[in-house]
């Protein structure tokens, strides 16, 4: 049986995290200057900002070897903030996406809007790490975690003042994800087996998500029209990565996009 890309990534993460835990135990992470910093709510930013865009910083991905390796993250972060996005998603995985925790630090230094650590979280250690490196929110992926893990991880995040964006792909993943410790539920429009995207996934699954959650649509959103349609279905957040990142100036691309939305 072939491993899916998600299985490959999580297997790799197990090794990576156990090495990091030895080098930088949680007691060290807790010494970070940002560990006690008041976090900023991404969920509120999505509710109050009519555009509702979470703009992503992503250099490459398993399906696209190069998206953008030439722009500086600080410039991207400042550009996104000036464009008026609700928050920024920072990919911190190195092996598959070419990101790192340094990216989170640099984005945090450059901006004051909410930052989401986008990572394949398989261990509570990574949640402490997100807090120490200046994140306001973390991504949890239902496909990688059991209901018990989702429950413990989201409770830990909440106790550290981090909000959770929980990513789902289908009905059974939604069933295990409706937890009071979760602020935002993100429907990923990408089929993890074929890598194809369709916003119909978001339209189809929205009825299963109660209104206590801020609803986010992720992946494959490249037009203003798609967002207008998804808003009618009750979505308040839209995660957009490649669409901005594949341009020379992601902040400028985000600004033009948001102006069109208005």
The answer to whether residues 150 and 179 touch, using CB atoms and an 8 Å cutoff, is yes
Q: Does 16 qualify as catalytic in the annotation?
A: no
In a domain, 31, yes or no: no
| Residue of 223, 221, 224 lying closest to 201 (CA atoms) | 221
- Report yes or no on 190 lying in a domain: yes
Question: Rounded to two decimals, what is the model's pTM?
Answer: 0.97
Residue identified by tokens 């916003």 is: 199
Q: Where are the beta strands (DSSP E) in 19-74?
A: 53-57
Task: Please report whether residue 65 resides in a domain.
Answer: yes
Look up the domain containing 14 and give its range. 5-20+42-261
Is 225 designated active site? no
Do 260 and 227 contact (CB within 8 A), yes or no? no
Is the residue at 37 inside a domain?
no
Residue 9 lies in a domain: yes
How many domains does the chain contain in total? 1
- pLDDT value at residue 1: 60
Share of residues in the chain with pLDDT > 90 (%): 92
Residue 167 is a catalytic residue = yes
Q: How far apart are CA 199 and CA 213, in angstroms?
A: 19
pLDDT (tens digit per residue) in 19-46 = 999 999 999 999 999 999 999 999 999 9
Confidence (pLDDT) at 5: 86
DSSP codes of every residue in 107-148:
HHHH--S-EEEE----SHHHHHHHHHTT-SEEEEEGGGS-HH
Which CATH number belongs to the domain containing residue 246 in this structure? 3.20.20.70
Quick: pLDDT tens for 107-137. 999 999 999 999 999 999 999 999 999 999 9
Residue 242 among the catalytic residues: no
Query: Residues 13, 118, 215, 255: which is the catalytic one?
Result: 118
Pick the catalytic residue: 68, 86, 89, 219?
A: 219
Q: Does any domain span residue 67?
A: yes
State yes or no: is 118 an active-site residue. yes
Centre a 10 Å sphere on the Cβ of residue 262 and count the other Cβ atoms it contains: 8
């Amino acid at each position: 049986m072939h491993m899916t890309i998600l299985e490959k990534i999580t297997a790799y993460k197990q090794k990576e995290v156990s090495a990091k835990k030895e080098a930088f135990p949680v007691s060290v992470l807790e010494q970070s200057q940002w560990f006690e910093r008041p976090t900023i709510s991404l969920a509120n930013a999505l509710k109050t900002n009519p555009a509702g865009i979470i703009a992503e910083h992503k250099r490459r991905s398993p399906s696209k070897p190069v998206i953008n390796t030439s722009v500086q993250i600080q410039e991207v972060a400042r550009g996104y903030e000036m464009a008026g996005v609700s928050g920024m998603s920072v990919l911190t995985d190195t092996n598959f996406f070419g990101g790192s925790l340094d990216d989170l630090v640099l984005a945090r230094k450059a901006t004051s809007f909410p930052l989401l650590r986008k990572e394949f979280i398989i261990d509570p250690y990574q949640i402490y790490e997100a807090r120490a490196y200046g994140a306001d929110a973390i991504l949890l992926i239902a496909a990688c975690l059991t209901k018990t893990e989702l429950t413990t991880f989201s409770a830990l995040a909440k106790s550290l003042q981090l909000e959770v964006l929980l990513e789902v792909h289908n009905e059974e993943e939604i069933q295990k994800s409706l937890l009071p410790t979760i602020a935002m539920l993100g429907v990923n429009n990408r089929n993890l087996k074929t890598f194809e995207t369709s916003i119909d996934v978001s339209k189809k699954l929205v009825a299963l998500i109660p209104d206590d959650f801020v609803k986010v649509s992720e992946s494959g959103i490249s037009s203003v029209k798609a967002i207008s349609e998804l808003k009618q279905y009750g979505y308040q957040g839209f995660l957009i990565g490649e669409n901005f990142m594949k341009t020379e100036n992601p902040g400028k691309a985000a600004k033009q996009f948001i102006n069109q939305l208005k």
